[in-house]
């Protein structure tokens, strides 16, 4: 419960700073994150290759929709509400694959820039989803860890900065694809499904 309050406090900080932030993700992204986003397709391919070459190759078929790099439907920004969200880590130096159980995430707002926060868990992304075309959005934010009470603002600590593409992959299913996150893996995916 403490982590949920920490994430909510971070969201308030984001909301308070919202007026000062640029609307376009290109005006906000660090050069390193802009490069990571450009490399989304190549990173996706590299991460899948690592999993295919491991003992976890069968997981790709079990979650075929989630791991299809070409799946991007129109209207990519998830609507306001609470979501079940599970983080999948593909490739990297320690394990080729790990999928965590569902946690609770939330999306706030309805325009071209929406707030996203993972409310529970030990690694909690907090930031903004920006519109970026017909079939993808861009998430830029920061990672809260453990019992962090405050948010390290995006752009102030490369170890905490997060950048990903936001994509709708089903009628009511979205994913955030994080190419080359700072920690652990080649690629992370957050799988988002609304809580009914």
Query: Could you tell me the residue ranges of all domains in the chain?
Result: 2-194
Chain segment 66-93, per-residue pLDDT in tens: 999 999 999 999 999 999 999 999 999 8
**Does the pLDDT at position 6 exceed 60?**
no
**Does the pLDDT at position 187 exceed 90?**
yes
Calculate what percentage of the chain has a pLDDT beyond 70: 89
**Does the pLDDT at position 13 exceed 80?**
no
How far, in Å, are 1, 25, 78, 138, 193 from residue 82 at the CA level? 16, 23, 10, 19, 9
Packing angle of the helix pair 31-38, 40-52 (nearest 10 deg): 60
Q: Which residue has the higher pLDDT, 45 or 8?
A: 45
CA end-to-end distance (rounded Å), the chain: 21
Give me the pLDDT at residue 19, please.
37
Chain segment 136-185, per-residue pLDDT in tens: 999 999 999 887 778 889 999 999 999 999 999 999 999 999 999 988 89
Q: How many residues does the chain have?
A: 196
Q: What is the DSSP letter of 79?
A: P
**Residue 92, CB-side half-sphere exposure with 13 Å CA sphere:** 18
Provide CB contacts within 8 A for 48, sequence distance 6+: 60, 67, 69, 90
């Amino acid at each position: 419960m403490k982590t949920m309050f920490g994430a909510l406090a971070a969201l308030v900080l984001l909301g308070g700073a919202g007026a000062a932030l640029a609307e376009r993700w290109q005006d906000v992204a660090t050069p390193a994150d802009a490069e990571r986003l450009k490399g989304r397709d190549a990173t996706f391919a590299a991460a899948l290759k690592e999993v295919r070459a491991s003992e976890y190759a069968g997981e790709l078929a079990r979650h075929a929709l989630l791991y299809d790099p070409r799946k991007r439907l129109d209207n990519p920004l998830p609507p306001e509400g609470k979501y079940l969200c599970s983080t999948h880590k593909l490739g990297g130096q320690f394990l080729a694959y790990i999928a965590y159980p569902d946690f609770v995430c939330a999306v706030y707002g309805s325009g071209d820039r929406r707030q996203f926060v993972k409310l529970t868990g030990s690694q909690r992304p907090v930031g903004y989803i920006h519109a970026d075309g017909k079939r993808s959005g861009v998430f830029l934010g920061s990672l809260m860890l453990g019992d962090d009470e405050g948010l390290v603002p995006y752009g102030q600590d490369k170890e905490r900065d997060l950048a990903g593409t936001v994509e709708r992959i089903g009628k009511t299913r979205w994913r955030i694809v994080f190419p080359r996150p700072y920690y652990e893996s080649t690629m992370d995916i957050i799988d988002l499904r609304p809580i009914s």
